[in-house]
Amino acid sequence: MGSKALSSQRGPGTEPEHGRPPLVDRWRESADRHLDPTKRSLLAMWISFGTTWGTVRLITHGIRGGWLPWGNISTGGRHLHHYNLGIATLAGVGLIAVRGDERAVGHPAIAAAYGAGTALITDEFALLLDLRDVYWAKQGRLSVDVSLGILSVLGTYLTARPFWHEIATVTRHHVGSAARRRLAPAP
């Protein structure tokens, strides 16, 4: 979709400066060009995995460090680990897959739910492996954190490498032209 088509979709007073579409529109064009439905779903899954995993790490450190206003989730005096939420999420995704609803199969929202559920389970994998609460044991916790972080970033990147390259190029050109406009002498 060219900039003329994009500008015709905007309302009055929303014309881009210098005849170029805004950065977000250019990103959207790149996504349309490089991401077929399967890649969109895979990208949604990896982004969801990384975002969920990072958010869970932040929340658990905040609870443990006492700088968040809430505590662990408990029911009946028993701590509810977040892998349980992940299992429930994956069960829901599995139900949708087994049911075979054509509109849902391969949908980015379902892929995102799968990524989130997988992250919730993976974050507590040591607990599931040992069946003891070793979540905060120093042995291996840092290496698991670093490994999952790297896996998340690599998966997100490798799923749509040409897309990310174009996004970087588009963003670099956008930022560069904005900087040149600011530094140019006034007419």
Q: What is the pLDDT of residues 44-97, one digit of tens each?
A: 999 999 999 999 989 988 988 889 888 888 888 888 888 899 999 999 999 988
Angstrom distance (rounded) from CA 178 to CA 165: 20
What is the residue whose two structure tokens read 């040591």? 126
Do residues 53 and 148 lie in contact, with contact meaning Cβ atoms separated by under 8 Å?
Answer: yes
What is the residue whose two structure tokens read 């490994």? 147
R_g of the chain computed on alpha carbons: 22
Q: Which residue has the higher pLDDT, 170 or 179?
A: 170
Residue 157, judged by CB atoms within 10 A of its CB (0-12, 13-18, 19+), counts as middle
List Cα–Cα distances, 59 to 43, 55, 64, 67, 139, in angstroms.
24, 6, 9, 10, 21
Considering the entire predicted model, what is its pTM?
A: 0.66
Angstrom distance (rounded) from CA 50 to CA 119: 7
Q: Tens digit of pLDDT for each residue in 90-115? A: 999 999 888 877 888 888 999 999 99
DSSP strands (E only) in the chain: 74-75, 78-79
Do residues 41 and 106 lie in contact, with contact meaning Cβ atoms separated by under 8 Å?
Answer: yes
Q: What is the pLDDT of residue 86?
A: 94
Token pair of 135 as six digits: 């979540």
Range of 81's domain? 38-162
| 21, part of any domain | no
Burial readout 68-107 (b: 16 or more C-beta within 10 A, e: otherwise): eeeeeeeeeeeeebbbebbeebbeebeebeeeeeeeeeeb
Q: Quick check: 136 pLDDT over 80?
A: no
Q: What is the pLDDT of residue 130?
A: 62
| 180, part of any domain | no
Q: How many domains does the chain have?
A: 1
| 28, part of any domain | no
